[in-house]
Amino acid sequence: MMTIVRYAAAIVVLFFARNASSAGDVQRGAKVFQACAACHSLEPGRHLTGPSLAGLWGRKAGTEPAFHRYSDALERSGIVWGEATLDKWLANPEATVPGNLMLFQGMREVQPRADLVAFLRAVSEGKGPAAPKAPAIPDLKTAPLDFIVATIRRCGDTYFVTNGSKKTLPFWEFNLRFKTDSGPSGPATGRPVLVGQGMQGDRAQIVFSNPGEISGFIKEGC
């Protein structure tokens, strides 16, 4: 009889000890979220490298409708996001869903994970502290003329880029990247924008509103 009582007491102690150490702190969790913020926004429908985590609680994994970069592994995992599933995923994503595409090695420490999960829950339920803003992406529609690309001429291995102020700079083709941004902060159609180092330096990137524009913009000529 005494043994049973002792066992029962031990279980009660264990239970409380476990709860005490895993009770997450929402404010601390907001800080931990900085490890996620480069890839995840908390604004509904705003997808970055990873899907928006707004309304995550109770959602089935891999089901944000406008996010097209889910792995088959995550979509087929059958996971529903809640305290236990998030805790496991964040501790070790690769072991939880082998073959997933989240480049994050995992958070082995218990307390920051519990804090983060508490924060994600609070945000999902509309009770979170002000969510840290997703990285600011400059609005390319309002880029100054110096950054608007007027023409691109290609001669051999060189692109000659002329900006809206009629200044032309040569770039070795290997140093110039072409990207697209069809999102709300992307450039206007027909007005690609130089970003990054702009017209300074030997490397640059030009952002178009859609891929169809790219080759039409580049005129061959030496």
At its nearest, how many Å lie between ligand HEC and the CB of residue 159? 30
Site for ligand HEC in 102-161 (CB under 6 A): 102-104, 116
- Contacting range for ligand HEC; rule: CB under 6 A; set: 18-26, 57-65, 122-130, 197-205: 57-65
Beta carbons of 90 and 53 less than 8 angstroms apart: no
Beta carbons of 33 and 132 less than 8 angstroms apart: yes
Beta carbons of 52 and 67 less than 8 angstroms apart: yes
- Contacting range for ligand HEC; rule: CB under 6 A; set: 94-102, 150-158, 174-182, 210-218: 94-102
Q: Is 96 in the site for ligand HEC (CB under 6 A)?
A: no
Beta carbons of 170 and 214 less than 8 angstroms apart: no
Beta carbons of 120 and 86 less than 8 angstroms apart: yes
Among 24, 29, 50, 128, binds ligand HEC (CB under 6 A): 50
Beta carbons of 196 and 205 less than 8 angstroms apart: yes
Rounded CA Rg of the chain? 25
Q: Is 57 in the site for ligand HEC (CB under 6 A)?
A: no
Q: Is 39 in the site for ligand HEC (CB under 6 A)?
A: yes
Residues lying near ligand HEC in the complex (CB under 6 A): 35-36, 38-40, 49-51, 53, 56, 61-62, 64, 69-71, 73-74, 81, 90, 100-104, 116
